[in-house]
A and B are shown apart, each in its own frame.
Chain A
Amino acid sequence: MSDVKRINPRRPYRMSPTGLRRIVLGEIASADPHIGVTAHETQQAKPLRTREPAKRWHMAVAHSERGRLDDHAREAIAAASILATPDTGVVAVILGELHENAGELGADKIVVVPDLDATRFQPQREEAVVQVLLDEFVPAHVFMPDNLRGDGDLGRRLIAKDNAFAATHVIELDARHVSVSWSGGAEIAKAPLPRFVLLAPGVVDAKLPFAGAGELLPAPKLPGVTEAYRDLGLEPTEAADIALEEADFIVSAGNGVENVETLGTLARTLGAAIGASRVAVDEGKFSRDKQIGASGKSVNATTYFAIGISGAVQHLQGIKGCRHVIAINRDGGAPIVKRADLTVIGDAEELMQALITRVSQARNQGEVPRSKDE
């Protein structure tokens, strides 16, 4: 026998999603080697970030939206917990209702103030409530999303009150520094990490390998503040009237869409604005102001439905800022498939009809959405 180490040529392997055979060392042999990795992964509870009692605090303040936190708000909490040393605790102050577990986002203590949601304008109350918490915890750093939903406004009010050096529109940060773009982006400016940090979107990776303790604290009493402002309410808006550049949900049609009516119905059902590819516009199905792409508009929607759109570079250029792209296409080899987060292969008309039916059902019955881990 030679001492050359022998390798079992038939040792267990997995098929990666692209169809490559992968041998993962240390892998325990699975009964079926062809099971895809993604289907296989089990969600384990994350370990706690720290077990030490908190001596100091980091605070994250954000508004919720319909009981949930958007990515930007999650990033602020993640920043607070990533930059926290083991003896620093993280307090998340959520203005508005919260129906999810902020502990998983990295918060050790959570204060929810349901009466201060973003749909109402009561900056002086918000300021007073946060001030109470600032006095209680005396956080070393306060992280907030710099958005137009009220957090940017509240943050600036707090900064003005604090009257110390602070950073807004922060595009990069670490434990010591923040960077902001200077003179419109040609330059970048660096400064020591201040007390108040208002973060631009996408600056922090909100995926954490750890969790916070997630202890819910009672909300502080709303102080009796007389607002200088009278909130006269939100103006009613129709999704179809929203300018494409501002829309958060866009349903967009390409050459593969025959029936414009169906598309309109789908957009109404989903509460989305309507866009189109150049070919669809050239054919006269849509007006020119609906065109998305290099020679049309650039959009920043969170959700973008590309229906019967091949995904030519000129079109993709216009949807660079879209976070979730869902494509419906007959052709699994179309370039849009590479860009899309979800592609459904099939006939556009049939799928649109099916989706309209399904979504109306879900809306009317007020189904309770199944959560992922059920």
Chain B
Amino acid sequence: MSNAFTVAALISAGRHPVSGAPRACRGDAVAMALGRRMAGDGLRVVHAGAAEEPSLQDYLALGAGTIEALPLDSSGDAVATLAAHLKNVDIILTGSNAESGAGSGLLPYALARALARPVAGNVLDARVQKTAGEGWDVEIRQFLPKGQRRRIGCALPLVIAVHPRAPVQLKYAYARRLSGRIERFPETPTDTCVAQPVWTVETASRRPIRLKARETKSGHARMQAAVVAEAKGGIVAFEGSTVDKAQVMLNYLREHRLVDF
């Protein structure tokens, strides 16, 4: 398939959440598979980080073909490195959240900003069509909660963050892992100096504490609250006719804004 537009998928080092074993990050693998469907063999697969990263082998097995590995400079700013490398790519596909580190889901937005192009998040599917003129246009199907889906049209170039539920098939083949290649690029110095966050990481030994408003209540009020809080479980409606009970249920639904009538 020869394309007049170019597509690149970004892949990150995945880690199993419990064992920490290196693996392909599922969200990125899904983005890569979607890119394969859009661009066929023309898809470029790019990793910002060390070429020695063990999880890259998994991506090769999933059909990456050739992975372009861009070493990061001392600032470790993946966005600037990627922006410089992908300036001329029309469609950049990323996963929604990385598996290692914070997984903040900010990269596609920061990258789009750096390249001054639009970005669409939670994308399930994207199809590129030729417009009436010379250009290309992409139609996106976006995931929304509660089973809703939205369609969005956008001109190229753009950045697409793929939702992990995108309907693609991932096939692992050991032969592809052996035949795939990792292409090393030289380090490109970037001139950004964004203050990197200072996260202090510790093992999660406790549950997070909920933020609560501090209350200064009298002993009396606290005792009363404790008496009320004793009621474990919810309300039980024994009495009344079935019509009354139906009304009780409807009232509950309305009171908690669970229905819109």
Interface of A toward B, CB cutoff 8 Å: 14, 16-18, 20, 22, 24-27, 37-38, 41, 66, 68, 70, 78-79, 81-83, 121, 147-149, 152-153, 156-157, 159-161, 163-169, 171-174, 179-192, 194, 202-205, 207-210, 228-235, 237, 239, 241-243, 246-249, 270, 273, 302-303, 324-326, 332, 337-347, 350-351, 353-355, 357-359, 362-363, 366-367, 369-370, 372
Contacts and interface: CB of A to CB of B under 8 A. Distances in A.
B2 interface: no
B213 A78 contact: yes
Contact of B146 (A27, A194, A247, A270): A247
Most chain-A Cβ atoms within 10 A of its Cβ — which of B194, B199, B200, B260?
B199
B252 A326 contact: yes
A24 B223 contact: yes
Given A369-B254, A372-B255, A187 B204 contact: yes
A201 B141 CA distance: 25
Contacts of A247: 146-147
B199 A189 contact: yes
Interface in B127-143: 139, 141-143
A189 B253 CA distance: 38
B154 A230 contact: yes
Given A148-B145, A190-B199, A232-B152, 14 more contacts: A14-B227, A18-B231, A78-B211, A168-B102, A168-B104, A184-B103, A229-B152, A231-B150, A233-B151, A235-B151, A247-B147, A341-B234, A341-B235, A342-B235
B85 to A, nearest CB: 19
Max count, chain B CB within 10 A of own CB: residue among A185, A232, A350? A232
B242 interface: yes
B169 interface: no
Contacts of B234: 325, 337, 340-343
A230 B152 contact: yes
Contact of A37 (B143, B154, B217, B227): B227
Interface stretch (B41-49, B115-123, B180-188): B115-123
A66 B259 CA distance: 10
B209 A191 contact: no
B105 A345 contact: no
